Each structure stands twice: as C-alpha cells, then as structure tokens.
C-alpha cells in the first residue's frame, strides 16, 4: 500500500508531496493538468518492483538491478523521446526527484534524473525488499478487443503503445480460480454481470466473448464499448487480479459510459476499496464525482479512507490541493463549467419566456 509520493520538477509539477488514503484516492483536473501522470508514476514504480520480485525472487534489491529497470519502465509507460523529457521544462539544466513511500517502509524508493538524461536514473534510497503485490492499471480505452496476440507482438516488435496496455493484457489473460467463487468476488461481479447481461469468457484462441444466457457467446468487438470496459473490470475481478492489498490505477473510468453504467462503476470502485484494494482514479466527470459522494454518505461507507486531490494551474506549473471531501477542493473545473452552463441555459430559457 502506498503512503506518499514526493516529486520535484516532474513534468508539469514544480514541487509536491501527496499523502495517499489507504482506500480511495481521486485526482480531479482538466485535460493536460497532469492527473494521468500522477497515476502512471506510482504505478510504474510499483510495477517495476513487482516484476523484479518475480524475476529475481532470490535476490535483494540492488542499484545495479533497479536503475535500468526503473528507467526502462518510465520510458515504456510515458513514451518520451528521452527520459530527461519528463523533467519540468525550462531553460537550463534541471533535476527531477521522486520519492515513493509505502506502508511497508522496506519498499520505499527514491530516484532522480536530469534534463539531459537519456536512459538512466540515479537511485537515492534503495528498497530493502521487493513489492509483492501486483498493481493494476486501467487506461481510458478497453483492451479486450486488442488482446488476441497483443502481448506477443508487443514483446517481439517495436509498437508505439504505452506499456500499461501490455501489463493489463497480461493480467486479463490470467486463469480463473478453480472451485466455487469466493463470496467477495461474487458480490463484486453480480452488479457488473447484470449490467453487461452476461459473463466474460476467454476461448483457447485468445479471443474474448460475452456469454449471454439464452443467446450464446457474442464476440467482444460486437459489444458496445461501454460494456467492454465493464467486461475488462469483470475479468480482472474474476481472475483475482484485483485482490486484497493490491492497487488499482484507473484513468477516467467514466469514458464511453452512460450515466447508468457510471453509477455501477462508482459502486464497484467503493466496494473494491472497502475490500482492501487501494484505488487511484483520475477524472473530470462531475457525474462520477457526485455519485461517489452520494455513496460515501451511506453509513456503511463512512469509515472508508478517502482523499481528494484537485489539480490546477499556477503560472507555468500545476499545483495540487488535497482534502477529505470534494467540498475541501476550492476549484473544480468541471463543476465551474457545469454551473456556467446552467446559468447560460437559464438565461436562454428566461429570454424565450419573454
């Protein structure tokens, strides 16, 4: 579980320290404000540590192992021309510094790189053990339709896709657990499968289908994209990729979903957090924010640890303000635009009546 992230001169941010909630963390900001970067950075570092725990299970972390691995992951996730492009841009040479702290302090790691860095990072604080829990990253688009053969293509050819797609496809292909479905898994899947009208199946040729009772299997590319996003989430729940004490990073969960489906996604996000999954979402959807806020007022959810982070601009860089509720954030662009639209609509309505 992540405790905090400190960054200096990272992309659009000058200097920030973010203290995470153990349950649900919500990043709110306009497009280009840097909210996706705040999801990808901790995901990348946690993912590297988990991958190294599998590849070097008998070895303790060393700089020789971590420095090239961290640099490669950042490069493959963010896809800059050089690693130094992730440093906040201004004239002259600048150093980017990152420090990620975990609930288990033995996983803590810090590193830095400069503007002219091409493919290297300098590890400052070295973790003493690997992160054993796999993080999950869900991009804005669904991946079930590209799944057949994608991982093999990605690992054997140069493809201009960020590595989060490859990582998530690997998890989507994970085998389902044998035996009866655990109650907590069933409770999470029931509303998702009801909304989809069926269950997700993966055939021996690596193709996903939506199995609809009484109608058979429908090819995933023929299913509406909003339903495919739910299907991707359902698959990760069903194969236990989203398990207790893991982390889920989800960029704009509301994309291509109608309000009815957004309500289901909000419920699943809250339920996952209550079961011990640390959730990080980036959004500018007022509907999703309000739905989460409504759910958090339910008595059974009031004990859930929640942090809200509003991202705005201050001259040439983005700044972050944090609070425990949406009301603690002073400037929410989507809310401002919603109110502005209401004022304009009321103005039109008033003029028509006259």
Q: Please indicate, yes or no, whether residues 11 and 118 belong to a single structural domain of this protein.
A: yes
Task: Check whether residue 314 and residue 348 sit in a common domain.
Answer: yes
Which residue range(s) make up the domain with 169? 141-242
Average pLDDT over residues 253-257: 92
Residue after which a domain boundary falls, among 219, 242, 265:
242
- Closest to 24 (Cα-Cα) out of 277, 319, 283: 277
Last residue of a domain, one of 188, 218, 242: 242
Contact assessment for residue 279 and residue 309, using Cβ atoms and an 8 Å cutoff: no
Q: Are 330 and 310 in contact, with CB atoms under 8 Å apart?
A: yes
84 token code pair: 């130094």
- The residue behind tokens 């425990």 is 324
Task: Specify whether 119 is located in the same domain as 55.
Answer: yes
Same domain, 45 and 156: no
Q: Are 154 and 236 within one domain? A: yes
Together in a domain, 22 and 128: yes
Q: Residue 354: pLDDT band by 50, 70, 90 thresholds? A: low
Q: Give the CATH number of the domain where residue 17 resides.
A: 3.40.50.300
User: Using 50, 70 and 90 to split pLDDT, how confident is the model at 92?
Assistant: low
Q: How far apart are the first and last CA of the chain?
A: 59
Domain endpoint, select from 191, 219, 242 = 242
Asked if residue 139 has pLDDT above 60, the reply is yes
Mark whether 80 and 162 lie in a shared domain: no
Mean pLDDT of the 262-267 span = 92
Q: Within 13 Å, how many C-alpha atoms sit on residue 327's CB side? A: 2
DSSP 148: T
Backbone φ, ψ for residue 46 (5° rounding) = -65, -40
Same-domain status, 260 and 125: yes
d(CA 115, CA 91): 10
| Same domain assignment for residues 295 and 180 | no
Q: Output the average pLDDT for the chain.
A: 89
Q: CA torsion 202→205→207→212, rounded to 10°? A: -50
Total domains in the fold of the chain: 2
Residue 107 shares a structural domain with residue 172: no
Q: Which residue has the higher pLDDT, 300 or 237?
A: 237
């Amino acid at each position: 579980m992540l405790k905090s992230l400190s960054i200096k001169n990272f992309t659009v941010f000058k200097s920030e320290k973010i203290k995470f909630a153990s349950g649900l963390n919500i990043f709110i900001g306009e497009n280009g404000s840097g909210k996706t970067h705040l999801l990808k950075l901790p995901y990348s570092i946690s993912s590297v540590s988990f991958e190294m725990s599998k590849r070097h299970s008998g070895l303790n972390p060393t700089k020789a192992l971590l420095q090239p691995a961290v640099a490669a992951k950042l490069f493959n996730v963010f896809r800059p021309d050089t690693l130094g492009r992730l440093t906040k841009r201004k004239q002259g040479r600048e150093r980017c510094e990152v420090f990620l702290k975990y609930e288990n302090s033995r996983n803590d790691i810090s590193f830095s790189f400069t503007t002219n860095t091409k493919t290297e990072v300098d590890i400052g604080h070295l973790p003493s053990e690997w992160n054993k829990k796999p993080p999950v990253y869900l991009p804005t688009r669904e991946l079930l339709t590209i799944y057949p053969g994608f991982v093999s293509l990605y690992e054997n050819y140069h493809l201009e896709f960020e590595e989060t797609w490859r990582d998530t496809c690997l998890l989507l292909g994970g085998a389902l657990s044998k035996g009866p479905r655990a109650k907590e898994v069933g409770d999470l899947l029931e509303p998702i499968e009801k909304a989809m009208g069926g269950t997700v199946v993966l055939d021996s040729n690596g193709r996903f289908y939506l199995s609809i009772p009484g109608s058979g299997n429908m090819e995933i590319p023929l299913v509406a994209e909003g339903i495919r996003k739910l299907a991707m989430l359902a698959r990760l729940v069903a194969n236990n990729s989203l398990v207790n004490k893991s982390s889920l990073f989800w960029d704009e969960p509301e994309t291509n979903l109608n309000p009815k489906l957004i309500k289901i996604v909000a419920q699943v996000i809250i339920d996952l957090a209550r079961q011990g999954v640390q959730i990080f979402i980036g959004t500018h959807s007022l509907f999703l924010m309000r739905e989460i806020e409504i759910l958090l007022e339910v008595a059974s959810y009031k004990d859930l640890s929640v942090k809200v982070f509003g991202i705005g601009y201050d001259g040439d860089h983005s700044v972050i303000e944090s609070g425990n509720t949406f009301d603690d954030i002073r400037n929410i662009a989507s809310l401002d635009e919603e109110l502005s639209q209401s004022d304009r609509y009321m103005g039109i309505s008033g003029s028509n009546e006259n």
